Chains A and B, each alone.
Chain A
Amino acid sequence: AQSVTQLDSHVSVSEGTPVLLRCNYSSSYSPSLFWYVQHPNKGLQLLLKYTSAATLVKGINGFEAEFKKSETSFHLTKPSAHMSDAAEYFCVGGFQKLVFGTGTRLLVSP
């Protein structure tokens, strides 16, 4: 069965510093992997997706993620955090029926 594990429930960074949100997956086959962002009381917005075309995936708002099969990881990064990046981030796996990680709350301080 597929599972997605987000290693950190909270990540705190200062504005302008790099962001790293960690995600590991388990699957018996190469999965589709996604990162979604959820701002307070809002729906989900797709940041980026991996579908086996390229291991380094660039998304919106300067985010990117690298699929590493040897490490079964799909960590989300951004070189420089902005205050508006503060939100809940979900690593998601699967095809049409999605499996959500538990989420990582990103806090950005001035």
Chain B
Amino acid sequence: GAVVSQHPSRVICKSGTSVKIECRSLDFQATTMFWYRQFPKQSLMLMATSNEGSKATYEQGVEKDKFLINHASLTLSTLTVTSAHPEDSSFYICSAPYGATEAFFGQGTRLTVV
């Protein structure tokens, strides 16, 4: 089946620094990708919709200046957590729609801000 690769799988950064997470569709094109966040023992919440060649769409309550999304090509979307703080520590996961009814997920990135 289709594959979505997310990198890195785990990152620890210092408070105040920025972290970039990449999401690639390896064998199909994705004009749209979705970024989710999962806090410990909670469900996944949609953060934003990444659109190739245009601005991302953010869900209510998500700071667009803090979570920068770039969808520069049909196979790559990036999420940059800027000026990270401990409260940004979470599990971030991307997905890319495949066909009309399916989505493939990346492996996820566990971010720890110290």
Q: Are B42 and A95 in contact (CB under 8 A)?
A: no
Which B17-43 residues sit within 8 Å CB-CB of chain A? 32, 34, 36, 42-43
Chain B min CB distance to A53 (Å): 10
Given contacts A49-B101, A101-B43, A102-B43, contact A41 B34 (CB under 8 A): no
Q: Contacts A96-B97, A102-B42 given; 20 further ones with Cβ under 8 A?
A: A32-B101, A41-B110, A42-B108, A43-B6, A43-B106, A43-B108, A44-B93, A46-B102, A49-B101, A49-B102, A51-B101, A90-B44, A95-B101, A96-B34, A96-B100, A96-B103, A98-B46, A100-B45, A101-B43, A103-B43
Per DSSP, are chain A's interface residues mostly helix, strand or loop, or mixed?
loop
Quick one: given A41-B110, A42-B108, are A97 and B34 in contact (CB under 8 Å)? Answer: yes
Q: Is there an interface contact between A44 and B101, defined as CB atoms closer than 8 Å?
A: no
> In whole angstroms, how far apart are the Cα atoms of A100 and B59 in the complex?
15
What are 20 residue pairs bridging A and B, where the CB atoms are less than 8 Å apart in the complex?
Answer: A32-B101, A42-B107, A43-B106, A43-B108, A44-B93, A46-B102, A90-B43, A95-B101, A96-B97, A97-B46, A97-B49, A98-B46, A98-B95, A98-B103, A99-B46, A100-B43, A100-B45, A101-B43, A102-B42, A103-B42
The residues of A that contact B49 with a CB separation of less than 8 Å are: 97
Alpha-carbon distance A102/B45, docked complex (angstroms): 10
Choice from A32, A98, A102 contacting B34 with Cβ under 8 Å: A98
Contact A100 B44 (CB under 8 A): yes
Q: Contact residue range for chain A?
A: 10 to 19
State A96–B97 Cα separation when bound (angstroms): 6
B8 to chain A: closest CB distance in Å?
Answer: 13
Residues of chain B lying within 8 A (CB to CB) of residue A44: 93, 105, 108
Q: Nearest CB to that of A53 among chain B residues?
A: B101
Chain A 7-44 near chain B by CB (<8 Å), digits 1 or 0 = 00000000000000000000000001000100001111
Bound CA–CA A102/B44 (angstroms): 8
A103 to B42, CA, bound (A): 8
With A and B bound together, what is the CA distance between A29 and B107 in angstroms? Answer: 31
Q: In the complex, A80→B103 CA distance in Å?
A: 28
